Structure 1
Amino acid sequence: MALFKKILLFLMSANYAKTFISHGWEKFDAEGFWSTAFIERWGYGLYFMYFIGVLEFLGGIGILLPKTNKYAAFTLAVVMLGAIITRTVFGTSLDDVIWIGFTMITLLYISLERGMDAELTRLYSKLKKN
């Protein structure tokens, strides 16, 4: 079973790497679909679109690397939470929100399986001391 889980995590990570590298790169086109969505539809600035593009692009690379995959998956899950909030506030299809939610949940699963729970526990302990 452990081998099956490793293979499953790798395949999920590889799929999300392909997706987020591609989607992140698309956000550097100031004239493309995403600029219309970010600026005209949602009211965000162009620099915010670039920021999200950097997070997605680097997150897509990072999810494949052993030392960064838990952080990358967690960061991408947070980006997806923002996408869910944006799409809900500004209106979109329920299918879109469900798909983004599924992506967020599977990214959280990847990050937790890769050890992010220990990182969050350690961070919480540090914050609790202060």
Structure 2
Amino acid sequence: MSDSTASVSSAASAAAVAPATSGTGIVIAESATARGRRARIALRALQVVLALFYGLASALPKLIAHPSAVEPFEKIGWGSAGMYSIGVLELLGAVALLIPVLSSVAAVSLSALMVGAFITQVVVFDGQYAATPLILIVPLSLIAWARRGHNAELLRLIRRRS
């Protein structure tokens, strides 16, 4: 490769990586790696926020038998056994959201719990808070889709153990 070809090539790659700004200082374009890095960070932050929500705001009241959790489960007819079971499943899902190889499966599992919560809200509680589980399914679906590559890795780990 000649020196002029190398300098044109390196100038083109530098232009592709460096963000271009207009006279106002607004970034017009950015590199795919910078966008990808930001997307990965945002997705990880979303996983942490959802894990905290499921672990602290959802599972904990059920596991400590807080009155706000006991009453709905009594109305459903599941009692304390159902309440503790759902609390444990939510806590396990919260922890699994933070483990990369389990995050996709955890998001799908928590989404399934939210479908059940939606149905329960509509049937037992006349849809009073039916939107909440549906709203939570949206970011869980995003995590499940974005982390779907981990499913093959998880299957390899399971097969290796068998």
User: TM-score, normalised on structure 1?
Assistant: 0.80
Higher relative contact order (CA 8 A, sep 6+): 1
Q: Distance in 2 between matches of 1:45 and 1:2?
A: 46
Sort the Cα spacing of 1:8 and 1:38 in 2 relative to 1 into closer, same or farther, 3 A.
Answer: same
Runs of 4+ in 1 over 3 A off after TM superposition: 116-119
Say yes or no: does 1:25 pair with 2:96: no
What is the percentage of aligned positions where both structures have the same residue? 26
Total equivalences in the alignment? 117
Map 1:20-99 → 2, pairs under 5 A: 20-22=54-56, 23-30=58-65, 32-39=67-74, 41-90=75-124, 91-93=126-128, 96-99=129-132
Q: Is the 8 A contact 1:80 1:100 kept in 2?
A: yes
Call closer, same or farther: CA 1:31–1:63 in 2, change over 3 Å. Answer: closer
**TM, length-normalised to structure 2:** 0.65
Give the SS at the match of 1:68.
Answer: helix
Aligned alpha-carbon RMSD (Å)? 2.0
Contact 2:104/2:151, CA 8 A, preserved across alignment: no
Structure 1 unaligned residues grouped into runs of 5+: 123-130
More off after superposition, 24-33 vs 84-93: 24-33
Return the alpha-carbon distance in structure 2 between the equivalents of residues 75 and 48 of structure 1: 17
Shift of 1:58: 1.2
For structure 2, the 5+ residue unaligned runs are 1-34, 156-162
> Greater Rg, structure 1 or structure 2?
2
Paired residues of 2:104 and 2:145 also in contact (CA < 8 A): yes
